[in-house]
Amino acid sequence: MKKKDLIKVIVSFLILVIGMILENGIINLETVFNVSVAVASNTILVIFVLAYIIIGGEVLKTAAVNILHGQIFDENFLMTIATIGAFLVGEYPEAVAVMLFYQIGEMFQSYAVNRSRRSISELMDIKPETANLKNDDGTIITKKPEDIKTGDIIIIKPGEKVPLDGIVISGSGDIDTSALTGESIPRFVEADSELISGSISLNSMLEMKVTKEYKESTVAKILELVENASSRKSRSEKFISKFARYYTPIVVILAIALALIPTLISGFSLEVFKVWGYRACSFLVISCPCALVISVPLSFFGGIGGASSHGVLVKGSNYMETLSKVSHIVCDKTGTLTEGNFKVTKIDSVNCSDMELLIAAAKAEKNSNHPIAKSLLNELKAYSEEEYTKVINAVNNAKITEFAGYGIKYEDQEDIIFAGNSKLMDKENIEYKSVDSVGSVVYVARNGNILGSIVIEDIIKEDTKEAIEKLKSMGIKLIMLTGDKKEIAKNVAEKIGIDEVYSELLPQDKVSKVNNLLENKEKTDAIVFVGDGINDAPVLAGADVGIAMGGLGSDAAIEAADIVIMDDKFTGVSKAVLIAKKTVRIVKENIVFALGVKIAILILAAFGIANMWMAVFADVGVAFIAILNALRAMKLKEI
Amino acid sequence: MTKTFIVKNLDCAHCAEKMERAINKIKGVNEASITFMTQKLFLDADDDRFDEIVEEARKAVKKIDGDEVDLTEV
């Protein structure tokens, strides 16, 4: 807010008050100063004109300039006509007040817009300014992140932002990723951990190797996305700008008709013209569509900004609008609802310790690249680092044979180990206790004797269930698509409360399932697809709204999706839906409220019931309330 | 060619709308979109006349909302 403008408002307001005191005879000029009636009334007029010029001078000037540019329906011009009209019919205080409130409204508008622009840029204050490059000789120089190349070594000091994506070489400590993900719990990193640009090293000095140039980095991608977010306009925004285009001319034409027709009918009676002219001026005051034009994009902008502070990036207000109408959420299983990495969930050893069983399994599986083998090795590592290293570094002439669809045979000087499914055990005539599990079961036998079984499952993300309950309570139907086996799919779906499951699907089946839903949906519904961005780009692009999970690190996801959830949690989806619904509700409230009040006052003014004071409220007051309402979209504490 | 510009001193939402329409009418403009909240103009226009088009767009925005409004390339 400019100080100069504020002073103008205050001075003009005080003069207006003085004028009104004199006009209403609270202080009577004639008796106090002993002047004639004419001098007194002229003095009062001069006082009002003075107040008017102080507050409205700028508007008058702009109106004149714009008229020369051919801008007829310019709001400055309309305000000028309305207020001059009010002066002509003798309503001086009204004329000044209209100008005064109009200016206050303008000031408030620009204050609100600037504030929300600022708070959103603060929200997205993730751009790193510098990077500390470590040269080969050990010296450190400060450079711009843009000047760092892949393979360079950089140093991150405690409290500093990570300027580029990379891998930690030395040092360990806590990393704050809240600016990117909205996740407040710090993440621990050590050598070989990935570091994402835009996060902050809280308490330690880290040395990292850069893996991506700045313009390819996470932070650059996010900034680009957020800054271009609102260029895709929503239907409400398009409606409002179209509406604004016709609203002003129509109201102005009505005002002209209102001023002229009764006067013509009455045979140019000045009295009639005064009455209807005043009503016409009230029309002009209401003719500006500002409240609507500003509050709709302001709400969407606030909603998008609020969402990004929760780690949900929305690429445009159109997606926000569509998401608010979501009826079905279709999601991929692996990586979206589940962690996507397998873990040992049950160890059942017979005639030996769990450790012995694990060592035997690890020996057999150590050269395999299958996720199940990896999870076995990880489990052993968690049990005992020492045994793990022993297995990995064992130098013997072990012979490992893989039987596709069965499992693995391992042979060294001492033992023969079989690790695989029940079919392998049957084939080798080994007796075993069958395990009934939805996960993958690995049976392990040594020298003809069963050692036990190990169950490996994909873990459901901890907050998935909670998010799904929230979504279902909003009346949204959840559908899961997966390439996985039927039993596994069904089990996961039951655990988290998914409504419909389609399993054993190939990638192209997923596309046709979603297309099928899209074809059969109601017009007012929206089909949302949630995936992790890997292998599901066509579905992400095809759905009404595509949401990608785990935006950190996955370029493909950021590119293909309409909404990106930065952390890996399914609650991001429920948050996104809640924010979208709230934002769109605010937009609707504003449209209905602002239009309703304006039309009501227009009708009342036409019949002479509403005066110019009410017209000013319909213009400035409504804008004020609509903007305050719009600013609510940014605040989402309760989610 | 597509470029993004900052519309400096843009503080009237209705004007942004008018500017967008005016720029879209310039010959050679394929698509112009102004986002009021971010003060950004996204301009997609023919390559061979791009600089001229930008000049015309600059004139158009000044005409609508006064001389203090300006376009600067991002």
Split at pLDDT 50, 70, 90, the class of A209 is: very high
Number of folded domains in chain B? 1
- Using a CB-CB cut-off of 8 Å, the residues of chain B touching A109 are 11
pLDDT digits (tens, 9 = 90+) for A500-534: 999 888 878 888 899 999 999 888 899 999 987 66
> Tell me, what CATH number does B61's domain have?
3.30.70.100
Q: Cα distance from A246 to chain B (closest Cα, Å)?
A: 12
Residue of A110, A116, A289 lying closest to B14 (CB–CB):
A289
Which fold is adopted by the domain A131-160+165-211?
A: 2.70.150
- Give the residue-averaged pLDDT of B49-53: 91
Task: Name the residue facing B14 among A65, A293, A301 (closest C-beta).
Answer: A293
Least Cα separation, residue B33 to chain A (angstroms): 7
| Mean pLDDT of chain B, nearest integer | 87
Phi and psi (nearest 5°) for A580?
-60, -45
Tell me the one-letter amino acid at A161.
K
Phi first, then psi, for residue B69 (nearest 5°) are -80, 140
A235-277 pLDDT tens trace: 888 888 888 888 888 988 999 999 899 889 988 888 888 889 8
A65 contacts on B by Cβ (under 8 Å): 66
Residue A67 contacts residue A77 (beta carbons within 8 Å): yes
pLDDT for B57 equals: 93
Structural domain boundaries in chain A:
3-120+233-297+584-634, 131-160+165-211, 312-337+461-566, 340-459
Highest mean pLDDT among A123-132, A391-400, A440-449, B60-69: A440-449
> Does the beta-carbon distance from A301 to B37 stay under 8 Å?
yes
CB contact under 8 A, B35 and A230: yes
Q: Among A332, A536, A544, A562, which one carries the catalytic annotation?
A: A332
CATH number of A340-459: 3.40.1110.10
Calculate the CA A638 to chain-centre distance: 15
Does A312-337+461-566 match A340-459 in CATH topology? Answer: no
Residue A230 to residue B13, Cβ atoms within 8 A: no
Question: Each residue of A176-201: pLDDT tens digit?
Answer: 888 777 777 788 888 888 888 888 88
For A288, the 3-state DSSP assignment is coil
Instruction: Find which of A228, A239, A320, A634 to mutate to test the B interface (most B CBs within 10 Å of its CB).
Output: A228
**Residue tagged 């929305």 (tokens):** A314
Interface test with B, best of A5, A67, A71, A73 (most B CBs within 10 A): A71
Residue type, A214: Y
Per-residue confidence (pLDDT) for residue A230, from 0 to 100: 57
Which residue of chain B is at minimal alpha-carbon distance from A297? B37
In sequence order, what DSSP letters do the residues of A134-196 get, joined into one string? EPTTS-EEEE-GGGPPTT-EEEE-TTPBP-S-EEEEE--EEEE-HHHH---S-EEE-TT-EE-
Confidence of residue A554 (pLDDT cuts 50, 70, 90): low
Rounded to the nearest angstrom, the minimum Cα separation between A380 and chain B is 53
Q: Which CATH code is given to the segment(s) A312-337+461-566?
A: 3.40.50.1000
Cα separation of A415 and A423, whole Å? 21
Distance from CA of B51 to the nearest CA of A (A): 22
- Which region among A84-98, A371-385, B23-37 has the lowest average model confidence (pLDDT)? A371-385
- Transcribe A304-330 into DSSP letters: HHHHHHTTEEES-HHHHHHHTTEEEEE
Residue B3, C-beta contacts closer than 8 angstroms, at least 6 positions apart? B43, B50, B54, B73, B74
- A120 versus B32: which is more confidently predicted? B32
Question: What is the predicted pLDDT for the residue at A569?
Answer: 86
User: Between A113, A231, A297, which is nearest B11 by CB?
Assistant: A113
Structural domain range at position B8: 2-73
Are B42 and A75 in contact (CB < 8 Å)? no
Rounded to a whole number, what is the distance in Å from the CA of A322 to chain B's nearest CA?
19
pLDDT at A638: 56
Q: CA of A111: which chain B residue's CA is closest?
A: B11
Residue A369 has pLDDT above 80, yes or no: no
A165 is catalytic: no
Dihedrals phi, psi of A415, to nearest 5 degrees? -125, 155
pTM of the predicted protein model: 0.81
- Asked if A230 and B37 come within 8 Å (Cβ–Cβ), the reply is yes
